[in-house]
């Protein structure tokens, strides 16, 4: 009995050991079938051609055990890491090769592209610049280098690279899209500078009129032009030059995006651009459908989510807006529009304690954002921080189109006992309200 039981246990134990060792045995058989570097290399190349990148990675690693430091295997391993979206491993592997073999084009390219994907754009510059210098027509290197400059907030440098690519290949949709992004950022910066110049406010109104006219809204465009009071004889030549630059860049951006849509009409970026246009025209339902279509193709891309969140925000559907905007910040923590819109929602919901840190952070990067200043002043007021409220509201007065900011300022000043200033702010609020009412009545009459 004891012997039988012992024998049975021994059999079962052997079976369990066999099960545990079977994977190792099969791996050994594989190595026996591919017992040399060349065979493993061939197998890996075949796997990569079939899109089986993770398996190819294991074969290249096995080949490197047989021939440590083999440059061709290391290079292909880096490429496989990149193809499998394992960007940190791609960067480390390719970067090691590039340091010892700087003339190796593929190592330089993967190092640069992986650095961009790892949010290390500065580390991408040297390898990609060296590659573009040796191979000026290398598409991947040009576009990756341009992306690195975009990530470094250097749209001027990036635009020159994208322009080079559009000259080399006028049908390169990616280059046109990148060029549109760069011109858009440069136009925004030019507009921001314009708003701070003497006489810039009038030119900014004129710029708004140009934009509204391009959107087909002649009624509001006429109103903006009427408020601008800009004439050819204006003394603010610097502001006039800045206005011309902003207008030119905005036109170039629109042209680049339109060229992209022509070349890639079914892309998610085209849906995103069309969504932007519909939103600017006030067609919010159509814009939302296009943003949703883009998001379905790119669920982990923050741009369509931001578009959806902005539309919901403009519609006052704050629950939907908040969900989209929080996902935008999850994917792109530095998204300024998402941060501002979330903060504005918090203010509208009277969640001032939550709104204040969002607005304070936003304003460190955008100190000229007057709408955010107004929201922060309102939040401070409701937290009984009246001195802080006065400071922020005073900075936002130039954006007061309906008298609300002056009115809020007058209350905050009165809380601080500054009665004379409070009365002046209240009088200004009443004047702005009356002017706004007359303007609305005139627009109704002109319809």
Length of the chain: 447
Predicted pLDDT of residue 204: 56
State the CATH number of the domain containing residue 83.
Answer: 1.25.40.10
Span 287-314, average pLDDT:
95
Query: Are 240 and 148 members of one domain?
Result: no
Asked whether residue 441 is assigned to any structural domain, the reply reads: no
Q: Which tens digit of pLDDT belongs to each residue from 340-361?
A: 999 999 999 999 999 999 999 8
Asked whether residue 2 is assigned to any structural domain, the reply reads: no
Asked whether residue 78 is assigned to any structural domain, the reply reads: yes
Question: Is 50 exceeded by the pLDDT of residue 300?
Answer: yes
Q: Which tens digit of pLDDT belongs to each residue from 404-415?
A: 999 999 999 999
Query: Are 249 and 146 members of one domain?
Result: no
Question: Is 80 exceeded by the pLDDT of residue 260?
Answer: yes
pTM score above 0.75? no
Query: Are 71 and 148 members of one domain?
Result: yes
Asked whether residue 382 is assigned to any structural domain, the reply reads: no
Asked whether residue 415 is assigned to any structural domain, the reply reads: no
Query: Are 128 and 194 members of one domain?
Result: no
Q: For residue 223, what are the domain limits? A: 175-283
Query: Are 244 and 187 members of one domain?
Result: yes
Q: Which tens digit of pLDDT belongs to each residue from 11-45?
A: 334 223 333 433 443 344 344 444 589 999 999 99
What is the CA angle 312-296-299, rounded to 5? 85
266, 283, 300 — which closes off a domain? 283
Predicted pLDDT of residue 192: 74
Asked whether residue 118 is assigned to any structural domain, the reply reads: yes
Within a 10 A sphere around the Cβ of 442, how many other Cβ atoms?
11
Query: Are 243 and 189 members of one domain?
Result: yes
Question: Is 70 exceeded by the pLDDT of residue 202?
Answer: no
* Helices 237-263 and 200-214: angle between axes, nearest 10 degrees: 20
Question: Is 70 exceeded by the pLDDT of residue 199?
Answer: no
State percent of the chain over pLDDT 70: 80
Q: Which tens digit of pLDDT belongs to each residue from 307-328?
A: 999 999 999 999 999 999 999 9
Span 104-108, average pLDDT:
94
Asked whether residue 187 is assigned to any structural domain, the reply reads: yes
State percent of the chain over pLDDT 90: 64
Predicted pLDDT of residue 206: 56
Q: Which tens digit of pLDDT belongs to each residue from 205-237?
A: 555 555 544 544 444 445 544 555 544 444 466
Q: Which tens digit of pLDDT belongs to each residue from 36-68?
A: 899 999 999 999 999 999 999 999 999 999 999
Predicted pLDDT of residue 446: 56
Predicted pLDDT of residue 220: 47
Task: Report the alpha-carbon distance of residue 401 to residue 224 in Å, rounded.
Answer: 12
Question: Which residue is listed with tokens 């049975």?
Answer: 8
Asked whether residue 295 is assigned to any structural domain, the reply reads: no
Question: Which residue is listed with tokens 């994208």?
Answer: 162
Question: Greater confidence, 432 or 237?
Answer: 432
What is the SS3 assignment for the chain? CHHHHHHHHHHHHHHHHHHHHHHHHHHHHHHHHCCCHHHHHHHHHHHHHCCCHHHHHHHHHHHHHHCCCCHHHHHHHHHHHHHCCCHHHHHHHHHHHHHHCCCCHHHHHHHHHHHHHCCCHHHHHHHHHHHHHHCCCCHHHHHHHHHHHHHCCCHHHHHHHHHHHHHHCCCCHHHHHHHHHHHHHHHHHHHHHHHHCCCHHHHHHHHHHHHHHHCCCHHHHHHHHHHHCCCCCCCCHHHHHHHHHHHHHHHHHHHHHHHHHHHCCCCHHHHHHHHHHHHHCCCHHHHHHHHHHHHHHCCCCHHHHHHHHHHHHHHCCHHHHHHHHHHHHHHCCCCHHHHHHHHHHHHHCCCHHHHHHHHHHHHHHCCCCHHHHHHHHHHHHHCCCHHHHHHHHHHCHHHCCCCHHHHHHHHHHHHCCCHHHHHHHHHHHHHHHHHHHHHHHHHHHHC
Query: Are 181 and 138 members of one domain?
Result: no
Question: Is 80 exceeded by the pLDDT of residue 73?
Answer: yes
Question: Which residue is listed with tokens 């009365």?
Answer: 423
Mean of per-residue pLDDT scores for the chain: 83
Indicate if the alpha-carbon torsion angle 176, 338, 87, 294 is positive or negative.
negative
261, 283, 305 — which closes off a domain? 283
Number of domains in the chain: 2
Predicted pLDDT of residue 334: 83
228, 258, 283 — which closes off a domain? 283
């Amino acid at each position: 009995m004891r012997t039988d039981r012992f024998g049975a246990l021994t059999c079962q134990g052997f079976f369990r050991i066999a099960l545990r060792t079977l994977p190792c045995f099969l791996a050994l058989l594989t190595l026996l079938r591919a017992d040399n570097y060349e065979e493993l290399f061939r197998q890996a190349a075949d796997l990569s051609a079939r899109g089986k990148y993770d398996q190819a990675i294991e074969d290249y690693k096995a080949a490197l055990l047989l021939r440590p430091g083999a440059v061709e295997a290391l290079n292909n391993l880096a490429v496989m890491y990149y193809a499998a979206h394992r960007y940190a491993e791609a960067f480390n592997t390719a970067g090691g090769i590039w340091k010892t073999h700087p003339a190796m084009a593929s190592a330089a390219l993967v190092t640069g592209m992986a650095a961009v994907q790892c949010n290390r754009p500065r580390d991408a510059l040297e390898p990609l610049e060296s590659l573009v210098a040796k191979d000026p027509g290398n598409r991947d290197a040009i576009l990756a280098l341009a992306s690195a400059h975009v990530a470094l907030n250097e749209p001027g440098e990036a635009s020159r690279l994208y322009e080079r690519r559009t000259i080399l290949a006028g049908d390169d949709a990616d280059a046109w899209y990148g060029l549109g992004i760069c011109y858009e950022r440069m136009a925004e910066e030019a507009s921001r500078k314009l708003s701070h110049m003497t006489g810039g406010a009038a030119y900014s109104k004129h710029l708004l009129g140009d934009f509204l006219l391009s959107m087909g809204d002649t009624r509001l465009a006429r109103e903006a032009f009427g408020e601008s009071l800009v004439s050819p004889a204006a003394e603010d030549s610097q502001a006039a030059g800045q206005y011309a630059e902003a207008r030119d860049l905005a036109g170039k951006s629109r042209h680049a995006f339109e060229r992209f849509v022509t070349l890639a009409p079914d892309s998610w970026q085209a849906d995103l651009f069309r969504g932007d246009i519909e939103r600017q025209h006030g067609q919010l339902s159509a814009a939302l459908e296009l943003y949703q279509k883009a998001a379905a193709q790119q669920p982990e891309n923050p741009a369509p989510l931001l578009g959806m969140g902005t539309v919901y925000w403009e519609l006052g559907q704050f629950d939907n807006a908040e969900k989209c905007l929080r996902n935008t910040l999850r994917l792109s923590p530095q998204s300024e529009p998402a941060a501002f819109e979330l903060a504005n929602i918090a203010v509208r919901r009277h969640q001032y304690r939550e709104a204040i840190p969002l607005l304070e952070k936003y304003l460190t990067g955008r100190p000229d954002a007057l709408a955010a200043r107004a929201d922060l002043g309102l939040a401070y007021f409701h937290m009984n921080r009246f001195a802080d409220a006065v400071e922020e509201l005073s900075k936002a007065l130039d954006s007061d189109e309906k008298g609300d900011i002056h009115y809020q300022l007058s209350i905050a000043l009165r809380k601080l006992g500054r009665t004379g200033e409070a009365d002046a702010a209240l009088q200004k609020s009443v004047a702005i309200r009356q002017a706004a009412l007359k303007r609305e009545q005139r627009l109704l009459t002109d319809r």
